Amino acid sequence: MSRVSVPPPTCLQKPLRVPHRYMFGPGPSNVPPRILWAGASPVIGHMHPEIFEIMSDIKSGIQYMFQTHNNVTLAVSGTGHTAMECAIFNAVETGDSVLTAVNGIWGERAAEMAERIGARVNTIVAPPGGYFSNAEIEKALSKYRPVLFFLAHGESSTGVLHPLDGIGQLCHKYNCLFLVDSVASLGGAPLYMDQQGLIDILYTGSQKVLNAPPGTAPISFSERACQKIFNRKTKPVSFFLDLSWLANYWGCDGKPSRLYHHTGPVTAFYSLRESLALLVEESLERSWERHQKVAEYFSAGLESIGLKLFVKEKNVRLPTVTTIVAPHGYDWKEITAYIMKTHNLEISGGLGPSVGLVLRVGLMGYNSSTANVDMVLAAIKDALKHCHKSKV
């Protein structure tokens, strides 16, 4: 007699259905067919030589995308948060001082991650939409003497592209590692890991400008970062994210053989490889230029229909994620829901400190085109005509 007491669910006896949707929120973005097909290639062993070759191609692609010669460059199995934790858990030991720049949600999250491993965390805080001068950063570095300083290059919750020039030099002056989150910006705005700002740890995600499915996160560590990480007194709190293991799995530690650490998500590696190949085909410079032009075209279109950009200074607007001041008199949730229902198109409201203040539109990678801008503008105009507007 069968001992099965939980019956087979009827929901799983129906076919899988996923609608097509325009993914113009802050991520994930739409995945072009070539990347989807790559991900549908057969699964082979994560330690097979063909996979090691694909991982090596990915490493070269990340070095190009990050503009770095760092040897310890790889993709973490997980989303952007996994890369954040990989950076923080490896670079910080219990009791270390950490400084995070909070001008949106990402500095808050980085602070919480460092707190969870027993670091002494301090923050510098700017209002949503704001950013920090190098003088403010230097003041905090000299006061708190952190081992790690976190900054988001693209603050996707507020739409700010943070200037980077000179900050790495300041961090180095105070013997601190410079950690930059570029999940929302990389590939869409210029960033030179080695030259600009002397960044020590940089990471991004697969599902934004790269247009791959979520689930892999490119990351790179400078020589200085490796010096600190590989000479820690204590082991990192996470086995899964331990850089010594990851560097070995990705063939970055010079050892003759690679050991089994975890089962790499091979189909996600295929997609990531293909997304990097598409970026190489277009070139970084052309991708940056396209994102900038499309973002400017979008800003002009928004202003022409009477909407305001949340980030006042043009030169610090993130070209991948545009933040619009939440239209007065409307409920932002009604606007995003109307656009989803009527236009099959995702845009989103604020996140963390920007909730209620903004609407956010992400046009990233393959989605960054003037035709898509026209589509979003038409959807927003339609929503403003049909959603309820209070008289007060």
**Binding region for substrate:** 360
Q: Distance between CA 48 and CA 129 in Å, rounded?
A: 47
Show the binding pattern over residues 65-84: x = contacts ligand PMP (CB under 6 A), - = does not: --------------xxx---
Q: Which residues contact 95 (CB under 8 A, 6 or more apart)?
A: 118, 119, 120
Find the helix or strand (DSSP H, E) in which 140 lies.
helix 134-144
Q: 287-311 burial by CB neighbour count: b if 16+ within 10 A, else e? A: bbebbbebbebbbebbeeeebebbb
Nearer to ligand PMP, 103 or 248 (CB): 103
| Helix, coil or strand: residue 247 | helix
User: Is the Cβ–Cβ distance between 310 and 159 less than 8 Å?
Assistant: yes
Show the binding pattern over residues 160-199: x = contacts ligand PMP (CB under 6 A), - = does not: ---------------------x-xx---------------
Any contact of residue 362 with ligand PMP (CB under 6 A)? no
Nearer to ligand PMP, 318 or 387 (CB): 318
Any contact of residue 218 with ligand PMP (CB under 6 A)? no
Q: Distance between CA 147 and CA 295 in Å, rounded?
A: 36
Nearer to ligand PMP, 27 or 61 (CB): 27
Ranges within 96-135 binding ligand PMP (CB under 6 A): 106
Any contact of residue 156 with ligand PMP (CB under 6 A)? yes
Ranges within 9-28 binding ligand PMP (CB under 6 A): 26-27
Tokens representing 46 are 């994560």
Nearer to ligand PMP, 184 or 383 (CB): 184
Question: Which residues, listed in sequence order, are joined to residue 325 by a DSSP beta bridge?
Answer: 358
Residue nearest to ligand PMP (CB): 80
User: Is the Cβ–Cβ distance between 158 and 129 less than 8 Å?
Assistant: yes
Report how far Cα 185 is from the mean position of its chain's Cα atoms: 7
Nearer to ligand PMP, 128 or 205 (CB): 205
Tokens representing 39 are 């991900």
Give how many residues touch ligand PMP by CB under 6 A.
14
Torsion of CA 248, 251, 254, 257, to 10 degrees: 70
Nearer to ligand PMP, 106 or 269 (CB): 106
Of positions 154, 218, 264, 301, contacts ligand PMP by CB under 6 A = 154
Any contact of residue 159 with ligand PMP (CB under 6 A)? no
- Residues at the contact surface with ligand PMP, assessed by CB under 6 A: 26-27, 79-81, 106, 152, 154, 156, 181, 183-184, 205, 214
